[in-house]
Chains A and B, each alone.
Chain A
Amino acid sequence: NAGVTQTPKFRVLKTGQSMTLLCAQDMNHEYMYWYRQDPGMGLRLIHYSVGEGTTAKGEVPDGYNVSRLKKQNFLLGLESAAPSQTSVYFCASSRWDFPRGYTFGSGTRLTVV
């Protein structure tokens, strides 16, 4: 049982380049989330999805786009990467019912130079 899988694990981008981070879960969870983690800032929610075809903005959505075309996948896109987007990105998923504990992936470390 893989849980939540994030690809890639590491990536270096040049300013202005684009990329997509993939999150896949095999637990049939309805909800999925993208967070970024920066030193001293904790986890900040970027976007989330409560079901296939639906997405919503979190605390820090600017510069990111997301899509949830399939229930098991949640994609995070950076259209034009900026150094401020250097961070560790975590995907998580949860059931719809309470208590809504999250299962996290192992993270993607992204550096924008």
Chain B
Amino acid sequence: AQSVTQPDIHITVSEGASLELRCNYSYGATPYLFWYVQSPGQGLQLLLKYFSGDTLVQGIKGFEAEFKRSQSSFNLRKPSVHWSDAAEYFCAVGSRNSGNTPLVFGKGTRLSVIA
């Protein structure tokens, strides 16, 4: 069964600094991968997804992520963080081989942004 690990529970960055949130997955074949963002009191919103093709994917709000098969990783990056990026971020993995299997989510990384 697939699994997702987000090693960092909480990260604090300064506004304007770069950001990288880590995501590692466990899956026997090539998965498809997502990053979602949850602002306080809100539902989850899709930031970006990887299914096939270019391993560097661009998302909304200036985020990007890179799929690295050799490292089983799908880390989320942003070159310059804004205060409005403070939220919780979830990585999720899906199975291509089992048609009905739901996504598996990581436990999330909470991002705080300081001035």
The interface residues of chain B lying within 8 Å CB-to-CB of A90 are 43-44
* B contact residues vs A (CB 8 Å cutoff): 9, 32, 34, 36, 41-46, 49-51, 90, 94, 96, 99-100, 102-103, 105-108
The answer to whether A99 and B107 touch across the interface, beta carbons within 8 angstroms, is: no
Q: State the Cβ distance, B91 to closest chain A Cβ, in Å.
A: 10
Partner of B46, one of A35, A50, A98, A101: A101
Scoring A residues 86 to 113 as 1 if CB is less than 8 Å from chain B, else 0, what string do you get? 0000101000101111111111000000
Q: State the Cβ distance, B53 to closest chain A Cβ, in Å.
A: 11
Partner of B107, one of A4, A41, A101: A41
* A contact residues vs B (CB 8 Å cutoff): 4, 31, 33, 35, 40-43, 45, 48, 50, 56, 58, 90, 92, 96, 98-107
User: Which among B99, B102, B106, B107 has the greatest number of chain A C-beta atoms within 10 A?
Assistant: B102
The interface residues of chain A lying within 8 Å CB-to-CB of B34 are 99, 101-102
The answer to whether A99 and B49 touch across the interface, beta carbons within 8 angstroms, is: yes
The answer to whether B96 and A98 touch across the interface, beta carbons within 8 angstroms, is: yes
Partner of A33, one of B32, B41, B102, B107: B102
Partner of A100, one of B41, B50, B103, B107: B103
Q: With A33-B102, A99-B32 known to touch, is A104 a contact of B107 (CB < 8 Å)?
A: no
Q: With A45-B102, A50-B100 known to touch, is A102 a contact of B44 (CB < 8 Å)?
A: yes
Q: State the Cβ distance, A3 to closest chain B Cβ, in Å.
A: 9
Sample 28 A-B pairs with CB under 8 A, ordered by A number.
A31-B100, A33-B102, A41-B107, A42-B107, A42-B108, A43-B44, A43-B90, A43-B105, A48-B102, A56-B100, A90-B43, A90-B44, A96-B99, A98-B51, A98-B94, A98-B96, A99-B34, A99-B50, A99-B51, A100-B94, A100-B103, A101-B46, A102-B34, A102-B44, A103-B46, A104-B43, A106-B42, A107-B42
